[in-house]
Structure 1
Amino acid sequence: MSTDEVGLATDHEAELDRLRTKKEQILYALDHMPRGSSVEDVRRWLSKKGQQVPARSYAAPIVNDWRARNGITDTSGHIPLTPELIAKLEEAEAAALADTFAPAEPDPGPGHSPATTEPAGAKGFYLVALLSIGVSVDTSWRFFEQRLGITDTWERVALFSVMEAALVACGWAMRGGVRRDGRPGPARLVAWALTAFAAFAALSLSGPVAGTARVLLGPVLGLVMLHLALGIEIRATRHKTTTWARVGRELRERCLSLLGLGDDHRDALARTRDRAALRAAKLAIASRWTPFRTSRLRKALHASHVAHDTAQRDRMLRELGVLQHAKKLAETNQPSPW
């Protein structure tokens, strides 16, 4: 602390000692402290000056009254909004709006499309596709010589690999179609047509056994590997909504419902116990001539877990009541719906 500060503190202490009441000391502190000081600031300031610290309940009304007379509002510890601070906030808001409505970066164009990720193991798929096309190339080489009668070597070199090149082109076109609109397009049909022709050539050349091996290890395997390497899914990724797709889904749901496997949020144990409870209710009202009725009833009761599950026991009793009084259903009087 400098000499001037020591002298100023001594002057404050001397002046405070001359004041007679606590109220006068509080007002003196407010006059000599920074504007906006709180009640706790006043109490700490008086404590540093060696004065008896007034109670908060006593000092608060005096401080609030002094604030009101001097036009100072209580900010509860927050920074007061001065004109300078308001101007800075307006500048920051204007800068934020300028950044928000700034023009977007220009489109890099079709030649600079964003990079797309290849499927995992793409290089391995390419290698297998290349090897499988080698099998197809061997089949085409022999087919052109033995079946088409093209014996000139250079002529065969120029013509025999046309199918393999077409397969690669179809795979590339399918990749572009899937990435563009999610559909492989007509290239997939052409690729499978070429595969069918390769199957004909292999079977014609080597017979059913060796020809089948040439087909599976040649164009079929190559096409599948191209699908995987180029990131093409054999099945369309979109949800099919054709008529046959709806018929298939409906038949599937009905079959699952007949088997008791419909999606009703029950697990396998709950389904087993529910079936056992229904079976127990049916056996309870069955005739005495039902084969092994008693043993089957005991087994069903045990499987339904009705001895330990109150809800399951109530379910079984409700099933039994419905079955016992099924004949009275037609006798129930119902009000007319019209």
Structure 2
Amino acid sequence: MPTHPFITWAVDHPWPTASITAAAVAILGGTLWGIARMVRSWTWPPLPVLVAGAGALVCTAYSGDTSWRFAGERLGMVDSTERALMFGAGELALLACAVMARANKAATATKAAAGSAGVPGILVWVITSVQVIPCYATSGIVGGTVRAVIGPVLAGLLWHLAMGLEIRVARPGALSTGLPAIIGRELRERLLSYLGLATRDRTAEQITRDRATARAVRLAAVLELRPGGWLSGYRRRRLAAAVARSGAGTNGEQRHRLLQLLAARRTSGQLATVPLASPWAGTPVPEMPYPRTPLGVAGAQLRTMDPLAVVHLVRAAHPEGTPAEVAALCTEYGVTVSETQVRVALRAGNSVAPVLDRHVPDPPEVVPAGAQLLPVRCRTAPRHPALAVAASQDRTRPVVTVEYVPDDEEPEPDDVPDPPDTEVAGPDPLIAQARAEYGAGTPGVRALKARYGIGQARAQRIRDAVGDRN
């Protein structure tokens, strides 16, 4: 028995043969591994879509057998090659339209809508209808019906499910935007509305009561228009039965609804004469629907500032308030600060009593333009005691000035400033008292501050007034 030359060479050269075999096995294994990874990386449709697609392929093949027979018996395609090339044109077109419809549906799908199959979706049903004709022409009424149902009809239906089920599974709440689906939803909603079932979250008993209430309103309106007649007794009995079924006698809410509906029906003629304001003569719509309040304006300005500056401004406006009240006021303006932050800013410690501000020094001569000075008095002496401005550049935010007081220096009791809100319009009443006490002499500012417990500015005004008069 002759031996193949390749086998002879492999026997004569074992090592090269082993190397070639190992390389071939490695290449084959790598190819299979790559194919497996590629298949695993595919995004497979859900299982229902795969099953529907498999069923559609089988039914399409069943329809293809009918087309094969029809091409030879009715279309005169005797040549097998010609018949093989032409008999499956309808099935191939059906498959192509199904795939295109699926692509259109996926491309137009959103979160709220399932998308539309478009023209390819309509062509699927048109081709299915045409494929029914060969079934009856080949097998008659009975056999044609079996071939039509199992072949093109089921193929079109399963292709429809295969192209639409994945979108519906991925988005359960999505609605189809196709024309048949829109017509079906509209007809369903209209039917439910006609039957009185459109309102959701109602029990069967409540639906019965609402229908009886509407029937009672209609019968009462008819009896009001035609109180006599041979049908009046029958209508009254029906009215009584409707009122009893509505439960208006024991249910206050149902009775109120019945009376409101009856009143609206009886007075419906007044709609023609109800006075209404002309929409053309109304006031123009304002640019801002709600005017800004002073609190909102002040809060908007305060929110652009530092919380420390806001605390001092609010404290200056409410000098008698406790740190907790100052924190609450700042929060009302939209600047969230805690009571502890207020105590730290005002150096109030843990006392619950209102903290009076210390001596407010005069602002320095060099102050950035547009800055507002907020004085803070500190107890720890720095290396160079002096008035310090927080910023040397131009800024629109408030500038905090700090006066450092040595620890061994105690503030005098007359250094308490006047509250900003104590100044009243008109002459100061202390001017007359100072004239009566000091007579022709001109008192000093320090003496006035110590005598009346007032601040520097007010004492200076009283001294000027008394000196000018003298």
Q: Give the TM-score normalised by the residue count of structure 1.
A: 0.50
Pairing partner for 1:125 from 27, 52, 56: 52
Secondary structure of the corresponding residue to residue 250 of structure 2: coil
**Larger RCO, structures 1/2 (Cα 8 Å, 6+ apart):** 1
**One-letter code of the match for 1:274?**
D
Q: How far apart are residue 258 of structure 1 and its match?
A: 4.9
User: Does residue 296 of the first structure (1) align with residue 238 of the second (2)?
Assistant: yes
Pairing partner for 2:134 from 180, 201, 217: 201
Q: How far apart are residue 320 of structure 1 and its match?
A: 4.7
Q: How far apart are residue 314 of structure 1 and its match?
A: 2.8
Residue pairs, 1:1-20, within 5 angstroms: none
More helix by share: 1
Q: How far apart are residue 145 of structure 1 and its match?
A: 1.2
Partner of 2:156: 223
Partner of 1:156: 83
User: Does residue 272 of the first structure (1) align with residue 208 of the second (2)?
Assistant: yes
Q: How far apart are residue 169 of structure 1 and its match?
A: 3.4
Secondary structure of the corresponding residue to residue 225 of structure 1: helix
Judging changes above 3 Å, is the alpha-carbon distance between structure 1 residues 322 and 246 closer, same or farther for their aligned structure 2 residues?
A: same
Q: How far apart are residue 160 of structure 1 and its match?
A: 2.3
| Separation (CA, whole Å) in 1 of partners of 2:129 and 2:272 | 67
| Separation (CA, whole Å) in 2 of partners of 1:125 and 1:222 | 9
Secondary structure of the corresponding residue to residue 292 of structure 1: helix
CA deviation vs aligned residue, 1:67-97 (integer Å, no higher than 9, x gap): xxxxxxxxxxxxxxxxxxxxxxxxxxxxxxx
Judging changes above 3 Å, is the alpha-carbon distance between structure 1 residues 116 and 179 closer, same or farther for their aligned structure 2 residues?
A: farther
Partner of 2:101: 174
Residue pairs, 1:177-256, within 5 angstroms: 177-182=104-109, 183-229=116-162, 240=177
Superposition CA RMSD, Å: 4.3
Judging changes above 3 Å, is the alpha-carbon distance between structure 1 residues 223 and 307 closer, same or farther for their aligned structure 2 residues?
A: same
| Separation (CA, whole Å) in 2 of partners of 1:296 and 1:138 | 66
Partner of 2:63: 136
| Separation (CA, whole Å) in 2 of partners of 1:128 and 1:153 | 27
Partner of 2:248: 306
Q: How far apart are residue 132 of structure 1 and its match?
A: 1.5
| Separation (CA, whole Å) in 2 of partners of 1:221 and 1:247 | 23
Q: How far apart are residue 143 of structure 1 and its match?
A: 0.8
**One-letter code of the match for 1:316?**
L
| Separation (CA, whole Å) in 1 of partners of 2:138 and 2:105 | 35
* Structure 2 unaligned residues grouped into runs of 5+: 1-37, 110-115, 169-173, 279-470
Q: How far apart are residue 273 of structure 1 and its match?
A: 1.6
Which deviates more from structure 2 when the two are superposed, residues 133-142 or residues 197-206?
A: 197-206
| Separation (CA, whole Å) in 1 of partners of 2:95 and 2:257 | 63
| Separation (CA, whole Å) in 2 of partners of 1:220 and 1:201 | 13
| Separation (CA, whole Å) in 1 of partners of 2:122 and 2:217 | 57
Secondary structure of the corresponding residue to residue 121 of structure 1: helix
Secondary structure of the corresponding residue to residue 75 of structure 2: coil
**One-letter code of the match for 1:196?**
S
Which deviates more from structure 2 when the two are superposed, residues 248-257 or residues 261-270?
A: 248-257
The answer to whether the 8 A contact 1:129-1:223 is kept is yes
Judging changes above 3 Å, is the alpha-carbon distance between structure 1 residues 203 and 265 closer, same or farther for their aligned structure 2 residues?
A: same
Secondary structure of the corresponding residue to residue 202 of structure 1: helix
More strand by share: 2
Q: How far apart are residue 165 of structure 1 and its match?
A: 3.1
Pairing partner for 1:145 from 48, 61, 72: 72
Q: Which has the larger radius of gyration?
A: 2
| Separation (CA, whole Å) in 2 of partners of 1:315 and 1:259 | 20
| Separation (CA, whole Å) in 2 of partners of 1:212 and 1:334 | 67
Q: How far apart are residue 256 of structure 1 and its match?
A: 5.1
Q: Give the TM-score normalised by the residue count of structure 2.
A: 0.38
Judging changes above 3 Å, is the alpha-carbon distance between structure 1 residues 284 and 215 closer, same or farther for their aligned structure 2 residues?
A: closer
Which deviates more from structure 2 when the two are superposed, residues 178-187 or residues 295-304?
A: 178-187
Q: How far apart are residue 190 of structure 1 and its match?
A: 4.3
The answer to whether the 8 A contact 2:118-2:178 is kept is no
Q: How far apart are residue 218 of structure 1 and its match?
A: 0.7
**One-letter code of the match for 1:221?**
L
Residue pairs, 1:41-56, within 5 angstroms: none
Percent identity over the alignment?
A: 36
Q: How far apart are residue 283 of structure 1 and its match?
A: 4.5
